Amino acid sequence: MRYTRLGKTNERVPLIGFGTWRLGGGWWSEDRSQDERAIEAIVLAVKKGCWLIDTAEAYGGGHTEELVGSALRRLRSEGDYEVFVATKVAPEHLHYDDVIRSCEASLKRLGLKQVDLYQVHWPNERIDIAETMSAFERLIEEGKTRYIGVSNFSAKQVEEAQSSLRKYELVSDQVSYSFFDRKPEAELLPYCRKNNLTLIAYSPLGRGIVNSSSDKRLAKIDELATKYNKTRAQILLNWLVGRGGVVAIPKAADPKHIEGNAAAADFEMAEEDYALINRL
């Protein structure tokens, strides 16, 4: 695994982490039918080097955070594993007091006294971002989170959030970004690079379509997969985190997929091959 700095901090995070969307349920809907499989997936991801674990209070109505907490307890019982835990507050909970309550509830479900990264899940235009950011700064002051970030924010929205902070700085913006969804390249990625913000890419394999898409451009990706003896998914993950300032958080439950994702950061392609993908 290779690593990068988180925002302007000296915090080291892996280029490939682990997303937990739909482990334990959907948006505010709980599903306990695959709990053990989900816990095992999180544990394996950490052991394979993908130890940035991203979750949210809305995932499974909080149950996904409980699964992450169970995985963390299992990891502690088996050894001393490095883990960086990120979670998110839902857009309907962005008033000051709601943010504080949501964070405290997340910490309880995770079994932690402090989360590493606390993020606004989606912007809410009905709530003043300054009110939300004030609560986020209090969470840092009280030691309930180490860093703060946002998710699904445009460059303009990130700038507005940052300008409302008095003492601390945002470290990241988490958005959908993949070979199949390159919208962040127009404005957000250049903004993040200029301002030393980490772009955390969710759905980095196009929400699972990487192996089923009829996209004709994938013929070139398959040629590179043959050249480097890698899978199509590994080539695309490697290209994504090679863009600079990008961390990918693919979600997987199958052990082979988790191991494959982890290995995607263990090689480098020739510059002309990265350039080729950029042009596709």
| pLDDT tens-digit map of 80-109 | 999 999 999 999 999 999 999 999 999 999
Q: Is residue 57 very low, low, confident or very high in pLDDT (cuts 50, 70, 90)? A: very high
User: How many CB atoms lie under 10 A from the CB of residue 217?
Assistant: 12
Ranges of each domain in the chain: 11-213+240-269
Confidence check: pLDDT of 211 > 80: no
Confidence check: pLDDT of 268 > 90: yes
Question: What average pLDDT does range 189-206 have in this prediction?
Answer: 97
CA dihedral 250→254→258→263, nearest 10 degrees, is -120
Strand-strand pairing, 145-151 and 12-14: unpaired
* Residue 202, token pair as written in the block: 């969710």
Strand-strand pairing, 3-5 and 12-14: antiparallel
DSSP state of 10: -
- Give the tens place of pLDDT for each residue, 153-190: 999 999 999 999 999 999 999 999 999 999 999 999 99
pLDDT of residue 38: 96
Question: What average pLDDT does range 40-44 have in this prediction?
Answer: 98
Helix 232-241 to helix 218-228 angle, to the nearest 10 degrees? 90
Helix 96-110 to helix 63-78 angle, to the nearest 10 degrees? 40
Q: How far is CA 221 from the centre of its chain?
A: 24
Confidence check: pLDDT of 266 > 90: yes
User: Closest Cα to residue 174, out of 154, 196, 150, 194?
Assistant: 150
This prediction has a pTM of 0.96
Q: Is residue 209 very low, low, confident or very high in pLDDT (cuts 50, 70, 90)? A: confident
- Give the tens place of pLDDT for each residue, 119-136: 999 999 999 999 999 999
Which single residue is written with the structure tokens 């990265």? 274
Q: Is residue 207 very low, low, confident or very high in pLDDT (cuts 50, 70, 90)? A: confident
Q: Are 45 and 262 in contact (CB under 8 A)?
A: yes
**CATH topology classification for 11-213+240-269:** TIM Barrel (3.20.20)
Entry field: residues in the chain = 280
Q: How far is CA 261 from the centre of its chain?
A: 14
Q: Are 99 and 93 in contact (CB under 8 A)?
A: yes
